[in-house]
């Protein structure tokens, strides 16, 4: 068995996931840089100081998930941390991409009254079903680890408490796909945490805050270093840390 702790970060070839990978590698983890395109994962792994290795992983592809779990078992024999970070906010098409559509126009097209059901399905496939499938595939390895941690990278916009508060500033993001996908991810976090509460595996959800990445065409106001802070803290929780929580780097977020 590999003698360093091993962390898998999904969608780690760029953005907040790459920063989470960098920080876990800096703390001595062997980091698996999950990437649906192996070449992009390898390029990203080269930018990480420490032991970082690209791992082909498309969270919407059952074969890819099974192959990734098998590869981890065969090559390292352990997994201590799983960060479910990969997500999409939309399905880019030639007519609807940041190359030719403003952020505001993109948001308008996702309103509940007009958002495409096909896009809702695609977003849930990645942000929700992908998390369930990857977590289930990695659980046998995580159960063997002495103190495993699962971090689901969620978003405050998925908070029903926030969304029903008229003073919530991000209530203007009325996406019928991304926003409900994060509400579902929160529910999934609680479901896994409840089932695993008698084990040594802690399962928590983190919001990175509005961070400048490809996801929002770099409109976010926080750096990836700031965005990675809470997911990394939850990945490193000690034995007295909580499970089944939702937080950002200011503290608890209401569900
Ligand atoms: P990003 O820069 O767009 O990165 C998203 C990552 O997910 C990319 O590596 C992407 O890979 C990967 N991905 C997408 N679909 C995938 C699939 N099917 N299989 C595997 N990987 C896939 O976005 P980000 O802002 O860093 O987002 C990271 C997390 O933070 C997400 O969960 C997001 O919802 C959450 N978040 C972000 C913000 C924000 O303001 N940025 C706010 C709240 C929450 P490709 O390069 O192949 O597309």
pLDDT in tens, 123-150: 999 999 999 999 999 999 999 999 999 9
Q: How confident is the model at residue 243 (pLDDT cuts 50, 70, 90)?
A: very high
Cα 98 from Cα 106, distance rounded (Å) = 8
Tokens of 66: 């099974």
The predicted pLDDT at position 94 comes to 66
pLDDT of the residue at 99: 75
Percent of the chain with pLDDT over 70: 99
Residue 93 has pLDDT above 80, yes or no: no
Say yes or no to pLDDT of 108 above 90.
Answer: no
Domains of the chain with bracketed CATH: 6-252 (3.40.50.720)
123, 183 contact by CB (below 8 A): no
- Angle separating helix axes 130-144 and 62-75, nearest 10 degrees: 20
Q: What is the pLDDT of residue 124?
A: 98
pLDDT per position as a tens digit, 146-182: 999 999 999 999 999 999 999 999 988 889 999 999 9
Q: How many CA atoms lie within 13 A of 236 on its CB side?
A: 15
Residue 101's pLDDT band (cuts 50, 70, 90): confident
For ligand 1, what atom is nearest to the CA of residue 60?
18
Pocket of ligand 1 (CB under 6 A): 10-11, 13-17, 36-37, 40, 57-60, 85-88, 126, 153, 155, 207-208, 210-211, 213-216, 220
Q: From the CA of 69, how far away is ligand 1's center (Å)?
A: 20
Question: Rounded mean pLDDT of 59-74?
Answer: 98
Mean pLDDT of the chain: 96
Average pLDDT of the residues in 57-81: 98
Q: Is residue 218 scored above 80 in pLDDT?
A: yes
Q: Please, which residues have CB within 8 angstroms of residue 21's CB and are 6 or more apart in sequence?
A: 7, 9, 12, 31, 33, 44, 48, 52
Whether 95 shows a pLDDT value over 70: the answer reads no
Ligand 1 centroid–CA 207 distance in Å is: 13
Nearest CA to ligand 1 atom 29: 85
| Mean pLDDT across 8-35 | 98
Give burial (CB, 10 Å; 0-12/13-18/19+) of 232: buried
Ligand 1 atom with the smallest distance to the CA of 86 is 7
What is the widest separation between alpha-carbon atoms in the chain? 53
pTM, whole model, 2 decimals?
A: 0.98
pLDDT greater than 80 at residue 187: yes
């Amino acid at each position: 068995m590999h003698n360093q702790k091993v962390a898998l970060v999904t969608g780690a070839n760029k953005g907040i996931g790459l920063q989470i990978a960098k920080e876990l590698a800096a703390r001595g983890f062997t980091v698996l840089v999950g990437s649906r395109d192996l070449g992009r994962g390898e390029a990203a792994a080269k930018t990480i100081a420490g032991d970082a290795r690209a791992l082909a992983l498309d969270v919407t592809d059952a074969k890819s998930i099974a192959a990734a779990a098998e590869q981890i078992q065969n090559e390292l024999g352990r997994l201590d941390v799983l960060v479910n970070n990969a997500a999409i906010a939309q399905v880019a098409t030639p007519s609807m991409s940041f190359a030719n559509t403003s952020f505001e126009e993109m948001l308008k097209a996702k309103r509940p009254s007009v958002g495409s059901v096909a896009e809702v399905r695609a977003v849930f496939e990645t942000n929700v079903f992908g998390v369930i499938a990857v977590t289930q595939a990695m659980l046998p390895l995580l159960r063997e680890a002495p103190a495993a941690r699962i971090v689901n990278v969620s978003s405050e916009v998925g908070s029903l408490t926030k969304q029903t508060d008229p003073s919530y500033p991000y209530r203007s993001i009325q996406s019928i796909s991304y926003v409900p996908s994060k509400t579902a991810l929160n529910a999934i976090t609680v479901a896994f945490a409840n089932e695993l509460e008698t084990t040594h595996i802690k399962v928590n959800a983190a919001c990175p805050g509005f961070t400048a990445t490809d996801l929002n065409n770099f409109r976010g106001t926080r750096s990836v270093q700031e965005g990675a802070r809470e997911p990394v803290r939850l990945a490193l929780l000690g034995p007295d840390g909580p499970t089944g929580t939702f937080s950002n780097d200011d503290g608890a977020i209401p569900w």
